């Protein structure tokens, strides 16, 4: 039996595929390659020495999704596929709602038809909204501040409702915080199309000279250096969390929301300093006004992941930045 990885050529998806294959799992990848590169598949195969079925299918194409289940023996799904840029979601909300929610409904319908009822969903700390009581715990009230976050929360609710209607489903809702880093080989990393939305790839492009400087949004927060504090975790630690989550959903039925984070926050300027140490390059920045909806501090209470999954993040900030720099240095123009 295989694990279907939707969005398996993406940043987190590709690293998760590597860890699944290295753990002896069989996988099937579904990806429309709208924000990823087909060459990522070759790199996963190079790193693992294993081949696997790949379907260039959009989750909005219901017949295409059902065909994957008809062709393959799938016993669990890890669902990454979806649009994921917060700012873009504010500009084109209907596109985000249609893609992320309709696509997930298509996927779950195909799963139900095939009798596959185990799913690990790629959720997000954005479901905690503007909560300021850190560390964030899974039982906190949920809210959102943008359409991207709203799609994550809606999908969580959809999956809960599916379980209520059929208690044989087993669902893990993984709320992750801020993934950064890259595979140690330099073959896989965060490779967004266009100007990056996330901090680390933006910092990396400044360090390599592709962008002139970093904008630091806000320097007057109630934090040690005035800049926003976030819970950054290494993408390989995050990938290993998905492997543990698959093992968990195979054990029995139910729904669990689980934070994946380090439980520690780093400020923007701490990340910049760590990247400068890793790269030996200066990262020029300028202070810009705060962005609407940003909060001062956000980091996880990750104790549930340790208790339930046996998982905890082990890689530190300097290693995250060193691995990001290795990927950028090896792939200055992307994959």
CATH number at residue 172: 3.40.50.720
H or E stretch at 2: strand 2-6
H or E stretch at 256: strand 254-260
Mean pLDDT of 318-327: 97
- Measured CA to CA in angstroms, residue 320 lies from 180, 234, 257, 286 at distances of 6, 6, 25, 23
Q: What pLDDT is attached to residue 50?
A: 98
Q: Which domain holds residue 90?
A: 2-181+232-261
Q: Is residue 312 domain-resident?
A: no
Does residue 123 contact residue 144 with C-beta atoms inside 8 Å?
A: no
With a CB cutoff of 8 Å and minimum separation 6, the contacts of 277 are 318, 321
Q: What pLDDT is attached to residue 291?
A: 84
Helices (H) then strands (E): counts for the chain: 12, 14
Q: Is the pLDDT of residue 259 over 90?
A: yes
Mean pLDDT of 19-39: 97
Q: What pLDDT is attached to residue 148?
A: 95
Q: What pLDDT is attached to residue 72?
A: 98
Q: What pLDDT is attached to residue 193?
A: 79
- Each residue's pLDDT tens digit, 153-209: 999 999 999 999 999 999 999 999 999 999 999 999 998 877 788 899 999 999 999
Q: What pLDDT is attached to residue 334?
A: 86
Q: What pLDDT is attached to residue 272?
A: 97
With a CB cutoff of 8 Å and minimum separation 6, the contacts of 42 are none
Mean predicted lDDT score pLDDT of the chain: 96
Q: Is the pLDDT of residue 293 over 80?
A: no
d(CA 264, CA 135): 9
Q: Is the pLDDT of residue 330 over 80?
A: yes
What's the burial of 284, exposed, middle or buried (CB within 10 Å: 0-12/13-18/19+)? exposed
Phi, psi of 176 (to 5 degrees): -100, 160
CB count in 10 Å sphere of residue 288: 12
Mean pLDDT of 276-291: 95
What is the DSSP track for 21-50? HHTT-EEEEE---SSS-THHHHHHHHHHS-
Half-sphere exposure of 179 (CA within 13 A, CB side): 26
Mean pLDDT of 239-258: 97
Q: Which residue in this structure is represented by tokens 């209607």? A: 165
Q: Is residue 11 domain-resident?
A: yes
Domain total in the chain:
1
Cα torsion 246, 252, 258, 263: sign? negative
pTM across the whole model: 0.97
Q: Is residue 35 domain-resident?
A: yes
- Each residue's pLDDT tens digit, 71-129: 999 999 999 999 998 889 999 999 999 999 999 999 999 999 999 999 999 999 999 99
d(CA 71, CA 270): 48
- Which residues form the catalytic set? 148
Tokens of 179: 């993934």
Q: Is the pLDDT of residue 254 over 90?
A: yes
Q: Is residue 209 domain-resident?
A: no
Q: Is residue 322 domain-resident?
A: no
d(CA 289, CA 284): 17
Mean pLDDT of 242-264: 97
């Amino acid at each position: 039996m295989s694990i279907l990885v939707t969005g398996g050529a993406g940043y987190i998806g590709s690293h998760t595929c590597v860890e699944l294959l290295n753990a002896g799992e069989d996988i099937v990848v579904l990806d429309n390659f709208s924000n990823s590169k087909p060459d990522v598949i070759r790199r996963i195969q190079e790193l693992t020495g294993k081949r696997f079925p790949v379907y260039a299918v959009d989750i909005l194409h219901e017949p295409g999704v059902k065909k994957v289940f008809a062709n393959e023996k799938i016993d669990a799904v890890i669902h990454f596929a979806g649009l994921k840029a917060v700012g873009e979601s504010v500009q084109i909300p209907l596109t985000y709602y249609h893609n992320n929610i309709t696509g997930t409904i298509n996927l779950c319908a195909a799963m139900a038809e095939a009798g596959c009822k185990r799913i690990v969903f790629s959720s997000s700390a954005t479901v905690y909204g503007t909560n300021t009581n850190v560390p964030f715990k899974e039982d906190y009230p949920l809210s959102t501040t943008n359409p991207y976050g709203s799609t994550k929360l809606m999908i969580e609710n959809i999956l809960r409702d599916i379980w209520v209607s059929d208690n044989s489903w087993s669902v893990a809702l993984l709320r992750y915080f801020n993934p950064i880093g890259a595979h140690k080989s330099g073959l896989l990393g965060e490779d967004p199309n266009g100007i990056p939305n996330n901090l680390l790839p933006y910092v990396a492009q400044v360090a390599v000279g592709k962008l002139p400087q970093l904008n630091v949004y806000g320097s007057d927060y109630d934090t040690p250096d005035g800049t926003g504090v976030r819970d950054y975790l290494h993408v390989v630690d995050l990938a290993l969390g998905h492997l543990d989550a698959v093992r968990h959903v195979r054990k029995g039925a139910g729904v669990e929301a689980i934070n994946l984070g380090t439980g520690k926050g780093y400020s923007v300027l701490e990340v910049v300093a760590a990247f400068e140490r890793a790269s030996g390059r200066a990262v020029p920045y300028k202070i810009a006004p705060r962005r609407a909806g940003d909060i001062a501090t956000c980091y996880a209470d990750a104790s549930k992941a340790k208790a339930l999954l046996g998982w905890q993040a082990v890689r530190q900030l300097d290693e995250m930045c060193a691995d990001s720099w290795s990927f950028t240095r090896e792939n200055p123009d992307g994959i």
